[in-house]
Structure 1
Amino acid sequence: MSTIVLSLRWSIAALFFLSLATAAGAAALRPFKDDLFAYRRVLRQEDGGDFRIVDYQEVRDINRRDQVPERRVKQAYVSLGVRRAQVNATLTLGDRSLDVTRIGPEGGAAFTVIFIHGRGGDRRLGANDFSFGGNFNRLKNLALANGGTYYAPSLRSFDAAGVADVAALVRFASVRSGGRPVVLSCASMGSFICWGLARDAAAGAALGGMMIMGGAADPDFQKSAGFKAGLPIYFSHGSRDNVYAAEAQVAFYRSLKAKGHPTRFVLFETGSHGTPVRMTDWRDALNWILDR
């Protein structure tokens, strides 16, 4: 089958799901393997469910879930047909260029998700079907099946230049989707990109929300354009994170909640620095953000 025919089929599918999303408004994303990826037992919750401590066990959630621990998840957790809609590309964004992996249509998306890796990563991390318990494969399938588009870019730096690169990608995705929501998800050091973008009023206006996964707190966020605009933020963190202390991030969440800012927090009990990338329930997070 030719590439043109495949592209046409994916475009038709995207338009179909986009029409459903437009008709339904803020309809919830359709499930995908929720029985495998939904949060385990909630140990404690506060703030009407906006703060949750979720059961996490390394033996169960890594060793029994993976065929090769931390390298290859068991086959039941993935659906690889989504690879037909996956492309690697170098985008020219004004005077910038950015290497990305894209899943789904370049235009007309009902929503867009952009994942920003941490130090030492690149676009391959966010496109890997088998690592992190298959969680990125689930995100790909959730995006495609619901008319969305997912980008995993390669960041060259986590400073102002990196923020400018992602701001250009956010604007690009927003324009190509006709102004529909763009969700920026930042893991570990990638959180510096999220906080930097929250200060960019022009790019931030295109954001529907942010996800901070095992990231740093930003004591200056309340001075940002994102805070003033009420940008929804979904945190996920491991209680035993030895890179960015969970206590600092929980305190940050509580400071935002006290000001009435739309925010949620999922804390994985005994989880480490990498646990949120493996265990965050993408459907739960995206449904909450897109419903804001």
Structure 2
Amino acid sequence: MAVSTTVFPFRRLFLAAAFAAGASAAQAQTLKPFKDELFSYAKVLQQNDGGDDLTVEYQELRDINERDEIPERRVKRAYVSLGVKSEQVNEKLDIGGRLLDVTRVGPDRGAAFTVIFIHGRGGDRRLGTNDFSFGGNFNRLKNLAVANGGVYYAPSVRSFDTAGAADIAGLVKQVSEHSGGRPVVLACASMGSFICWGVSRDASAVAALSGMMVMGGVSDPDFTKSAAYKAKLQMFFSHGSRDSVYPAESQKALYRTLKGQGYPTRFVLFETGSHGTPVRMTDWRDALNWIGRR
């Protein structure tokens, strides 16, 4: 696979579509909005590094109690659009001779881009496809993918070790082949970050990726030795400032190291947010558009 697929930006796909439709180049460089008024960051408290280092306001009363019909279990109906479920299927994929359970939302061939979400400990593919949990954020991701010609995968990770990482590396390469080398973004939450760091060591998987997202995850002190680092794979981090599982400062320290070297990276900190806050509050459209602009 050509090295250029590592940094294949979303904008090339959207520009082509835009010229065909007569739209402007500026409009073509971003994913189309979907419920942005409900999911965009409420208030940016601080920003540095030209906007790549953001501290965003988080209020539990507003962002959970007022947003959910049943706090942390069922979001209010206004936050979801369920028509996208017609594009959703459960399937088993053969990844190097091992079967991997996935939920796919969108086409299995020719997608404009692919997003793969990796759950944490105790989860499975159902976590990343629940329309009503986490404030409806996964329903928004599904809709963003389908509305923009993309596809979303939520696999069930069997183990958070080298075998589990090998499964997901294989999935990354397979979906890249099925889309003709178009952009693939791997997003990992909580303990799922071990999978992202494992995949970052696989040069062939890295070559198929356009970006990686780590949400409320553990930091990797050896990331600078990885294939992803050498390829300057774009890294997006989001974290809660009061995360008691994986402290935000460890991840922020990695961000500072990378940013200090001119590496393409972004960090979004949710002030007062806890361990699960990034999965609930990360603005998927904003994050994917940041990756696509590079």
What TM-score comes out, normalization by structure 1 length? 0.92
User: How far does residue 94 in structure 1 lie from its aligned partner after superposition?
Assistant: 2.7
Amino acid at match of 2:184: V
Counterpart amino acid of 1:63?
A: N
Task: Give the alignment's Cα RMSD to 1 decimal.
Answer: 1.3
Aligned residue pair count: 275
Cα drift, residue 284 of structure 1 = 0.3
Q: 2:14·2:30 contact (CA, 8 Å) conserved in 1?
A: no
The correspondence of residues 154-165 of structure 1 with structure 2, limited to 5 A, is 154-165=156-167
Cα pair 1:54 1:266 within 8 Å, conserved: yes
Letter in 2 for 1:184: L
Structure 1 residue 275 and structure 2 residue 288: aligned? Answer: no
The residue aligned with 1:235 is: 237
Task: For residue 20 of structure 1, report the CA deviation from its aligned partner.
Answer: 5.3
Where does the alignment leave 5 or more consecutive residues of structure 1 unmatched?
Answer: 1-17
**Corresponding letter in the other structure for 2:17:** A
How much does 1:93 deviate? 2.0
Paired with 2:61 and 2:178, the residues of 1 have a C-alpha distance of 43
Return the letter of the residue paired with 1:214: G
User: Are 1:173 and 2:212 counterparts?
Assistant: no
Tell me the secondary structure at the aligned position of residue 123 of structure 1: coil
Q: Who is 1:42 aligned against?
A: 44
User: Which residue of 81, 84, 90 corresponds with 2:92?
Assistant: 90
Select the residue among 214, 226, 235 that pairs with 2:228. 226
State the match for 1:125 in structure 2. Answer: 127
Contact 1:140 1:150 survives alignment (8 Å): yes
Matches of 1:135 and 1:49 in 2, distance apart? 23
Distance of 2:15 and 2:275 partners within structure 1: 35
* Contact 1:21 1:110 (8 Å CA) reproduced: no
Unaligned runs of at least 5 residues, structure 2 = 1-11, 19-24
SS of aligned partner of 1:267? strand
CA–CA separation in structure 2 for the residues paired with 1:111 and 1:137? 17
**Which one is further off, 144-153 or 245-254?**
245-254
Give the counterpart letter for 1:159 in structure 2: D
Secondary structure, aligned partner of 2:238: strand
Amino acid corresponding to residue 131 of structure 1 in structure 2:
S
* CA positional deviation for 1:23: 3.3
Provide the C-alpha distance between the structure 2 equivalents of 1:229 and 1:20, rounded to a whole number of angstroms: 24
Tell me the residue number matched to 1:53. Answer: 55
Counterpart position of 1:11: none
Find 1:264's aligned residue among 239, 261, 266: 266
Contact persistence 2:64–2:71 (CA under 8 A): yes
State the alpha-carbon separation in 2 of the partners of residues 98 and 181 from structure 1.
Answer: 21
In structure 2, the residue matched to 1:32 is 34
TM-score by length of 2: 0.92
User: Kindly tell me: are residues 55 and 19 of structure 1, through their superposed partners in 2, closer, same or farther at Cα, counting changes over 3 Å?
Assistant: closer
Deviation at 1:162, TM superposition (A): 0.3
Structure 2 counterpart of 1:102, one-letter code: R
Residues 175-195 of structure 1 show CA distances to partners (whole Å, capped at 9, x for unaligned) of 000000100000001001111
Q: What is residue 8 of structure 1 aligned with on the other side? A: none
Q: Percent of aligned pairs with the same residue? A: 72
